[in-house]
Structure 1
Amino acid sequence: MLKLSSIYAPINEGLKGVEDEFKLVSESRKQSFPEMAEMLDYILVGGKVLRPALSMLSAMCFGTGIKKVLPLATSSEMLHIATLVHDDAIDKADTRRSRRTVNSVWGLEKAILLGDFLFAHAAEVAAETDNMRIVTLFAQTLQIIASGELKQAYASFNPDQSYENYLERISGKTAALFVMATKGGAILADASPSDEEIMRSYGYNLGLSFQIVDDILDFVGNAKDMGKPVGSDLNNGTVTLPALLLMDRYPENNPIKDMLGATDRSAHVARAVEMINSSDIIDLSYKEAKRYADLACQDLSKLPKTAARESLYQLAEFIVERKN
């Protein structure tokens, strides 16, 4: 299986730059606000840094250096982290990536306020591109994400959902940030409108593929690899692709509908996980993830042949094959 370390080879220097920018955010507050600095040190670490990588690789496809795209890369990752902080607070989640969440360490109120700070700081960093289209793209992305989360909240514990509803939700939840990264990289590289569209399409479809795999892993992964309990999305009332397929297959008698109306959900969730894993639903879900990964890559051949373009191909393959 491909490793991110090899896929990221063309942009290692740039990713180190994002890490350095994150350190500056906390270090600048160590004297004036040590409590916030501690929270920032805790949250601004780790992860796959997919969004910064996509920003840099997109720009490099058109011959633009890492320095020009560093603010966009930093902003996209900070915006992503802010959404995770708020998601965990809303879900009252205890763990993420095998670590305690901000809300479980410092409480819900402080977690929400930290997320607000990260949103605002991400906007400030995006403005450092000195590109009005990037600032507008950032604002539009944040609106899409917020709308997607609201749609998920309204759909929570609702059994009457369609595949189209699901796609609309994950478009806002995940694909929008991928688009900000890839389209933003193309904008900063002064790519042509047609090349910009190739990168937008790549980011959008890759984001869908990534989220579908995430939703599969919620049923087939283990708690250690995933950093959260198996079936946690379903337990929180979020109906994802494997759950939709199970409800479609057993419209009258399935544990998901029972779970959505129950007070004690654990037994229903466990049965749903078992039924999904003992069927071909996981295979069907992976095929859908692969379909979107292929759609992401379908026009990359029109771009100049570069190491960055090859990394984009490899990243699509990695996203479908990953285990966490």
Structure 2
Amino acid sequence: MSNGHFYPVGIPGQPWGPEERAAWLARQIKHRSYADDVLSAIDKLRNRFDVTEYGATDYATEHFSLLVVRSRDWRDDLPLMIVTGGVHGYETSGVHGALQFLEQHASDYAGKANLLVVPCVSPWAYERIHRWNPNALDPNRNFVKHSPAGESAALVDLLEPLRDRALMHIDLHETTDSDESEFRPALASRDGKPFEPGEIPDGFYLVDDADQPQPEFQRFVIDAVAKVTHIAPADARDEIIGSPLLMPGVIKFPVKKWNLCAGITNARYATTTEVYPDSPRATPQQCNDAQVAAIRAAIDFALAHP
């Protein structure tokens, strides 16, 4: 270890081995309860929705049930809309926005669409307020069959039979100040690369699929969210987090090539939300509301353009 390194774990220029990963894991502290915050909220939905365990993760002595919430009036002739949150456990409004949508609005789509909602993909990381799982793996770069990340493998297995039936998939995320202070430095250290500081955008934005862009869909969602919270402006290079701006509040990634959650299925309409919870212009409730507005707009647009 080097005291002059940009991250407390690792040696400059050397990827982490087992010793460094163990040192990193020892630094992780449980800050909140998946059972209290998420499972208890899902339990309250059981009288209106079908709730099942689609998998589980076991880390040391900790067992986490992975739950999916589905429309009770599921019909094969209805379009399928997928909502995922908590792929990165520290991105709080993704989890609580999905739960808020289920509690307040999901019933509005009864008889119109099949809803499949996974509020918290990564429970261990939710409790640690972290991006990675305990193996220092980012679930959102590992959504492949037989993934080394158990959280990712379980979700891929759940959605695999529905790959060609999904019409819309919205994956709920946040971009936080800790991306720049903790998670990007940790990533660079883990991979033995130099850390290059970036810029955190102040506001909400979306990530489109570079290989199947849907600009009108993205614009519709952005317009809906703009009524709830502010949209992130481009930086001086006309970019957001290093990606060129396609339109106000929208960038694009090759989601399938990068094994991102929004690319698991072949949904025609796919997007990844990014909320900025550290903004002085947004409260935690506004962040949740922005996620809910995005979900509702995404479903509404897909229903209107099947």
TM-score, with normalisation over the residues of structure 2? 0.28
Q: Relative to total residues, which structure has the larger strand share, 1 or 2?
A: 2
TM-score, with normalisation over the residues of structure 1? 0.27
Q: State the structure with more CA Rg.
A: 1
